Amino acid sequence: MDKKKVLIVDDQNGIRILLLEVFNSEGYHTFQAPNGKIALEIVSSEAPDLVLLDMKIPGMDGLEILKHIKAINPDIKVIMMTAYGELDMIKEATDLGALMHFTKPFDIDEMRMEVNRHLQGGNPPDRFAVSS
């Protein structure tokens, strides 16, 4: 079975290293990018299954990167990460196709579970399912 690929896009090195270690240990093939330009090169060359994308990145912001990712390959799953309570940006990210978002500092176990759910689930859960 091919390893699922996860791309981590964040300008903070510590966060990239942390997430890299977590998802490597989960058995994913992980890539990292400190900015949008490198992220999009990896998206084009490696076609990751899922991208963990920081909302606030110098140069090209998360929404711009998200638009480009979806233009390159609309099937790539994207989970946003944000340190701010910018609900308007989060709504826009969701409208652009992001699955969900995590607010920093995020719970790493929760993120691990969500990534596993989205990558291992096979069938995506019904978007309109009512959670209890």
Domains contained in the chain, CATH given: 5-120 (3.40.50.2300)
> How does DSSP classify residue 36?
H
Helix (H) or strand (E) holding 81: strand 77-82
pLDDT of residue 128: 45
Q: Is residue 125 pLDDT above 90, yes or no?
A: no
pLDDT in tens, 44-96: 999 999 999 999 998 999 999 999 999 999 999 999 998 866 778 899 999 99
Q: Encoding tokens for residue 98? A: 């992001």
**CA–CA dist 17, 35 (Å, integer):** 15
Q: Encoding tokens for residue 124? A: 């995506």
Q: Is residue 98 pLDDT above 50, yes or no?
A: yes
Q: At what angle do helices 13-25 and 108-120 cross, to 10 degrees?
A: 50
CB count, 10 Å around CB of 125?
Answer: 10
Mean pLDDT for all residues in the chain: 90
pLDDT of residue 1: 64
CB count, 10 Å around CB of 51?
Answer: 24
Q: Rounded to two decimals, what is the model's pTM?
A: 0.89
Q: For residue 92, is it left (φ>0), alpha (ψ between -120 and 50) or beta?
A: alpha
